[in-house]
Amino acid sequence: MRLVRFDEGRIGVLQGETVHDATTALGLDPAAWPPVGMLQLIRNFAALKPKLDAAARAPGIPLGEVRLLAPIVWPHNLFAYPVNYIAHQTEMASTHRADLNGYFLKATSSISGPQDPIVLPDLPSREIHHECELAVIIGKGGRHIATGKAMQHVFGYSCLMDITVRGKEERVMRKSYDTFTPIGPALVTADEVGDSGNLDMKLWVNDDLRQHATTRDLIVDIPNMVALASSVSSLEPGDVIATGTPEGVGPIRHGDRVTIEIERVGRMTIPVEQGSGGYNLALRREERK
Ligand code: MN
């Protein structure tokens, strides 16, 4: 099943090019704050699935007539794995590696949707890079999850871009600007994706294919990423794990269109816009050289 959030925070089932609105059937208030209806749906998915199925049989709305939002916002945690593909470690000349360093966190406020632009901070001396990643969405929460049971805790998958200001300051800050984590276009349940250990993933900037890899080449695989994160923190329904980028990262600029496509998960194209502001005292290092 492909779940989407759209318009003012409604939740629906995407079938082909049609969105079937399930908001009312699920008893959700799209205007509720905080906007955690999808987290509640994930937590109660087994009980609510018949209502989703019924909504999916009713007439829908053409996809082109809705505005898609990030399928998940306000997750309890947004975990992200650093260098998790050998070839990316080589290109970054990095001594960091997911199996040696573990994960970091991104601000959950950096999440944006499949029809939202990436807004670049005004940092003329810096490169701001795209990273093409598979997002793993947690279903059943838990702590100290064994690797062998980890896939039972995976609810589904989405496409994710981990946008990054290159530099030596705290990684969390450089990766946490608003709109630096586009997620979408849908949240695809695990049963529909099947084996996530061998998914083809691609990223284009405009028409140039910049990244092309498979999740088969992950250094720390998905079960071990879930187990590792849960060894530290309690996982909750809707938690997001950004699984790391393969090689081919590079700069994005105003006017670019960045497209991500992951086999059986989806495809979305995000425009890049130059914003204003974003400079701060912690970013002086490069400018002083
Ligand atoms: Mn990344």
Distance 49 CA to ligand 1 centre (A): 33
Q: Check residue 264 and report its DSSP letter.
A: T
3-state DSSP assignment of residue 265? coil
Q: What is the pLDDT of residue 185?
A: 98
Residue 54 token pair: 């019924």
- Residue 111, beta-bridge partner list: 181
Query: How many CB atoms are closer than 10 A to CB 255?
Result: 10
Structure-derived torsion over alpha carbons of residues 17, 158, 52, 41, reported in degrees to the nearest 10: -150
**How far is Cα 184 from Cα 172, in angstroms, rounded to an integer?**
21
C-alpha–C-alpha distance, residues 266 and 249, integer Å = 20
H or E stretch at 173: helix 171-174
pLDDT in tens, 217-275: 999 999 999 999 999 999 999 999 999 999 999 999 999 999 999 999 999 999 999 99
| Domain boundaries for CATH 3.90.850.10 within the chain | 78-288
Ligand 1 centroid to residue 82 C-alpha, Å: 6
For the chain, report the end-to-end CA distance as a whole number of angstroms: 52
For ligand 1, the distance from its centroid to the CA atom of residue 131, given in whole angstroms, is 6
91 has pLDDT over 90: no
What percent of the residues of the chain are helix, what percent strand, and what percent coil, each to the nearest 5? Answer: 30, 35, 40
More confident residue, 90 or 182: 182
Per-residue pLDDT tens digits for 150-177: 999 999 999 999 999 999 999 999 999 9
CATH class of 78-288: alpha beta
DSSP secondary structure letter of residue 35: -
Mean pLDDT of 143-147: 98
Cα–ligand 1 centroid distance for 84 (angstroms): 9
Q: How far is the CA of 50 from the centre of ligand 1 (A)?
A: 36
Rounded to the nearest angstrom, the distance between the alpha carbon of 162 and the centre of ligand 1 is 5
Q: Which pLDDT score is estimated for 73?
A: 97
Given a contact cutoff of 8 angstroms between Cβ atoms, the answer to whether 25 and 51 are in contact is: yes
CB 254 within 8 A of CB 110: no
| H or E, element range at 118 | strand 118-120
Q: What is the pLDDT of residues 93-138, one digit of tens each?
A: 888 888 989 999 999 999 999 999 999 999 999 999 999 999 999 9
Beta bridge partners of residue 80, listed in sequence order: 104, 242
CA 280 – ligand 1 centroid, Å = 22
Of 186, 182, 173, the residue nearest 279 (C-alpha): 173
pLDDT at position 288 is 56
Q: What is the pLDDT of residue 273?
A: 98
* Rounded Cα gap, residues 128 and 126, in angstroms: 6
Structure tokens at 85: 């593909």
Give 245 Cα–ligand 1 centroid separation in angstroms: 5
pLDDT (tens digit, 9 = 90+) per residue, 193-217? 999 999 999 999 999 999 999 999 9
Integer Cα distance of 149 and 160 in angstroms = 24
CA–centroid distance, 133 to ligand 1, in Å, is 7
Which phi and psi angles does 25 have, rounded to 5°? -60, -35
Beta strand pairing call for 78-80 and 104-105:
antiparallel
* CA nearest neighbour of 215 among 230, 197, 231: 197
CA of 196 to the centre of ligand 1 (A): 18
Q: With a cut of 80, say whether residue 285 has pLDDT above it.
A: no
The Å distance, Cα 47 to ligand 1 centre, comes to 34
Give residue 72 CA to ligand 1 midpoint distance, Å. Answer: 18
